[in-house]
Structure 1
Amino acid sequence: MTTHHQPVAGHCPAHKQPQPPTGPIPIYGDAFTADPHATYRRLRARGPIVPVEISPSVYGYLAVTYRAAVYLLRNTPARFAKDPWHWEALQRGEVPVDSPARMMMQPRDNALWKDGPEHTRLRRAITGALARVDTHVLATTVARIADQLIDFFAADGQADLVTQYSDPLPMLTVFELFGCPQELGSRIVGAVTRVFDGGADSSQANTELEDACLELTHLKRYRPGRDVATYLIAAGLTDTEMVQTILLVIGAAAPPTSNHIGNGLRRVLTDPRFAGSVHDGVRPVADALDEVLWDNPPVPNYSPLYALGQQIFEGIHLEQGYPILVSFAAANSDPLLAVAPGARAGNRGHLAFSAGVHACPAPDLARVIAETALERALDRLPGLVLEVPEDELHNRPGTFLAGLTRLPVRFQPCTRIASYGR
């Protein structure tokens, strides 16, 4: 894409400012993955909302201060729309079909991408379905699944708590919430993770994801149950809306929660402020998890918006037709925030669950899953410690999802509490 297709902060007909010499800063690639906060600091030095390259040849803006993020989210849809049909490059056919950004930001028939009455109708279906989930039953379900997973490696004295625990646990939990057969659920969540990771096969993963969600829809229409998928069908959603709503809910529930659990375990194992106090019960695991949501939210950059008419924020003119992403990670780490880094444990003023009319519809369910997962791991694995130096832990690549590739640990071998086989 040529330079004149890239947004320029400060541009308006009466006063043109030159594009920064280095152009839009990429928010993808090895350097970004290794230290995203270094990129956020560079961006924040340029302004509260700045031009970025979201993925190769895909340009937009990124809100990198807390004030800017809240302004955008609170003024949706009055000044900023969610509907991706406002994305001019997409309309002109300039966004590559296999672009990771396209897979994460293209139009879909679910609440995330709608404005006005359609958004209200589809969101009400989601909130109504999730409101029927009993949190006490959910906690019991998560504990049972956690014990099953731990039993597979309890006697070994070592494990990778990402691949063997934090990755599969939310996935298996979501299967039960949706009344979804495990094989079909594995296909859905595997495809969701590939879409989030933004790899070269993201387009194929999206196709596989939609096919699997349609299969689940047909199954629940034929064989309804007391589950979230059936509740969504009862709300009157069409097959197309069901596919995209299942995709949305599972995509929001499984991969982000997996990363939150993994990052929470890392915090407890490496931060002396939590290591002893969480193990002896002086501080709840919720404090560690809340601090992680401040420092390292599992969805660091998302919620694309589009300016309706000429919009100005703190002197920045936002051109129409370009996606404006919100960096929850950059906003939470904004040095102008009144909440000091050391006072964030137990503080829920972060934006990890977004804000405004498109905020996460069920943050309490996500907290139940993550807190129960941490508690079971700490209760079941005596002497739990990290097996490698912390600087050998690496982040997954990706603009839209933040988590560890692995978390190797060792502990005192312990007895399995049930017989699930190996």
Structure 2
Amino acid sequence: MTMRYMPDAGRLYGPEYARDPQAVYAELRKRHGAVAPVEIAPGIEAHLVIGYQAALDVLTNVGGVWIKNGTAWQARVPDTPEAAGPVAMLGYRPNALMSDGAEHARFRKVISDCFDLVQPHKLRQMVIEVSDSLISQFAAKGEACLVSEFAQPIPARIFNALFGRPDSDSAGLIQAMADLMEADGERGKRGSDAFSRYIGELVQSKHAQRGDDLTSWFIDHPAALQPNELAETLVLVMAAAYEPTANLISNTISRMVSDDRYYSSLSNGALGTYDALMEALRAEPAMSNYGPYFVRQPVHFHGTWIQPAELVLVSYAAANTEPTNVPEELRSDGGAYLGFGAGPHRCPASDPAMIIAMTAIERLTSHLCDLELTVPREELSWRPGPFHRALAHLPVRFTPIRPDQPGESPWAVQPPSSSTPSAPTYQGRSGDYATSAPWSS
């Protein structure tokens, strides 16, 4: 049995959508306005909020008509292979994303308090060391895939370290998250299962031995998370930290190396890394359609009736790029974006994500100052999936750098050798990147 209650639904899956989602949003906007019916997987339908003001109206008014708990929707989802991926991404979990009111405030305080303990200057140094180590592995080749060899390993290693796991877990985390985000039937379920095992092992290891890391601080926080609440909070934070950060890095680099306003100006001072990050967050946000919402009672919203137990997704990508009649240079909003959400559920860890992305990109472009794509940007392949905007590959070429070259090089921090690990291994030692939690002293 499928959930077909929305006629003329657009598809947020398949090669056509992956190739050009903005064309799909434009057609939906023309046919339906600010809220459009879509399928996120075969037979799994939702209302997609594609207008900027409509998106703000949802994001900033949670707690009245709008709620986050989707148990009623989940009960109606058919038990099919196609539904496994979406349910893994959108089904109710006791964490900050899927809760309301006092419950949400309690979960969010745990996340905010613990991330506040991560010192920005030490996080930046950590990113420098990991980035330089990765660059040193391909700098002498003169070519690389900056998705698999750079953008994906950086947040995997950084967040493994911040949560108290070794570098050896990075490859498994990357694969699990890729499978989960695709939300593609059995692959999505496989990713969800692998990610759950990762979280289970993480919790078990930190219950056995605490460290100066986020997992230990979550465990010992005065909010006293129950075992299932702790596990689901870790699921949320790790998923929200890894995949969006990896996509933000690769999406930004792809814009910089294909647009003369950015990359050709690195040596003559026009638009730089920050500008490219802001443009990526606006035009190509790493999580393009997410933010699941539901209504308490039937509501007529921007021309569309929405019923309880119907899924509503906010399209950050569509809302950010909604056409206006105001020229860019005259817009008072400065090209405002919803890349990190808005309102009470806005990402509480956007600052660390920006530090990681900006530092990694700056290290890359400082070492390899003549990067260029090996194919036109419009020919790059994108991973399928309704929730993210993620490059499958980012092939580049550049002038090779040798280990014996004079001047600063990526080997200055981590020289490659048969006896040297490919990246620093952080074990959560005191002083590596944070101060001790005040509630654990």
Using the size of structure 1 for normalisation, the TM-score is 0.91
1:382 offset after TM fit, Å? 3.3
Equivalent residue, structure 2, for 1:71:
57
Equivalent residue, structure 2, for 1:239:
227
What is the DSSP-based 3-state SS (H/G/I as helix, E as strand, rest coil) of the residue aligned with 2:353? helix
1:300 offset after TM fit, Å? 0.2
What is the DSSP-based 3-state SS (H/G/I as helix, E as strand, rest coil) of the residue aligned with 1:317? strand
What is the DSSP-based 3-state SS (H/G/I as helix, E as strand, rest coil) of the residue aligned with 2:197? helix
What is the DSSP-based 3-state SS (H/G/I as helix, E as strand, rest coil) of the residue aligned with 1:111? coil
Q: Do residues 212 (structure 1) and 229 (structure 2) align?
A: no
380, 383, 387: which one pairs with 1:396? 383
What is the DSSP-based 3-state SS (H/G/I as helix, E as strand, rest coil) of the residue aligned with 1:50? strand
**Counterparts of 1:240 and 1:188, CA distance in 2:** 20
Q: State percent identity of aligned pairs.
A: 33
Equivalent residue, structure 2, for 1:356:
343
Equivalent residue, structure 1, for 2:392:
405
**Counterparts of 1:155 and 1:296, CA distance in 2:** 31
What is the DSSP-based 3-state SS (H/G/I as helix, E as strand, rest coil) of the residue aligned with 1:113? coil
Q: Do residues 107 (structure 1) and 107 (structure 2) align?
A: no
Q: Tell me, yes or no, if the aligned pair for 1:260 and 1:297 is still in contact at 8 Å.
A: yes
1:141 offset after TM fit, Å? 0.5
**Counterparts of 2:153 and 2:18, CA distance in 1:** 23
Equivalent residue, structure 2, for 1:251:
239
What is the DSSP-based 3-state SS (H/G/I as helix, E as strand, rest coil) of the residue aligned with 1:273? coil
Q: Where do residues 35-184 of structure 1 align in structure 2 (5 Å cutoff)?
A: 35-45=20-30, 46-87=32-73, 90-92=74-76, 94-96=78-80, 99=83, 100-184=85-169
Q: Which amino acid aligns with 1:162?
A: V
**Counterparts of 1:281 and 1:220, CA distance in 2:** 47
**Counterparts of 2:361 and 2:88, CA distance in 1:** 31
**Counterparts of 1:278 and 1:250, CA distance in 2:** 33
How many pairs align?
403
**Counterparts of 1:152 and 1:237, CA distance in 2:** 41
Equivalent residue, structure 2, for 1:415:
402
Equivalent residue, structure 2, for 1:16:
none
What does the per-residue CA deviation read over 1:196-230, in whole Å, with 9 as the maximum and x for residues that have no partner? Answer: 12233211221221121011011112211111111
Q: Which amino acid aligns with 1:66?
A: Y
**Counterparts of 2:357 and 2:327, CA distance in 1:** 23
Equivalent residue, structure 2, for 1:309:
297
What is the DSSP-based 3-state SS (H/G/I as helix, E as strand, rest coil) of the residue aligned with 1:304? strand
Equivalent residue, structure 1, for 2:12:
27
Relative to structure 1, the CA distance from residue 193 to residue 343 in structure 2 (aligned partners, 3 Å threshold; closer, same or farther) is farther
Q: Tell me, yes or no, if the aligned pair for 1:6 and 1:60 is still in contact at 8 Å.
A: no
**Counterparts of 1:280 and 1:222, CA distance in 2:** 54
Q: Which amino acid aligns with 1:204?
A: R
1:343 offset after TM fit, Å? 8.0
Q: Tell me, yes or no, if the aligned pair for 2:320 and 2:337 is still in contact at 8 Å.
A: yes
Using the size of structure 2 for normalisation, the TM-score is 0.87
Equivalent residue, structure 2, for 1:192:
177
**Counterparts of 2:396 and 2:95, CA distance in 1:** 40
Equivalent residue, structure 2, for 1:372:
359
Q: Do residues 275 (structure 1) and 271 (structure 2) align?
A: no
What is the DSSP-based 3-state SS (H/G/I as helix, E as strand, rest coil) of the residue aligned with 1:254? helix
**Counterparts of 1:129 and 1:294, CA distance in 2:** 28
**Counterparts of 1:393 and 1:373, CA distance in 2:** 21
Q: Which amino acid aligns with 1:295?
A: A
1:118 offset after TM fit, Å? 1.2
What is the DSSP-based 3-state SS (H/G/I as helix, E as strand, rest coil) of the residue aligned with 2:290? strand
**Counterparts of 2:174 and 2:161, CA distance in 1:** 13
**Counterparts of 2:70 and 2:217, CA distance in 1:** 27
CA RMSD of aligned residues (A): 2.0
What does the per-residue CA deviation read over 1:6-59, in whole Å, with 9 as the maximum and x for residues that have no partner? Answer: 344xxxxxxxxxx4xxx2111111111111011101111112112111211111
1:391 offset after TM fit, Å? 2.9
Equivalent residue, structure 2, for 1:15:
none
**Counterparts of 1:93 and 1:366, CA distance in 2:** 33
**Counterparts of 2:202 and 2:289, CA distance in 1:** 29
**Counterparts of 2:385 and 2:77, CA distance in 1:** 23
1:272 offset after TM fit, Å? 1.1
1:187 offset after TM fit, Å? 2.6
> Runs of 5+ in structure 1 lacking a partner?
9-18
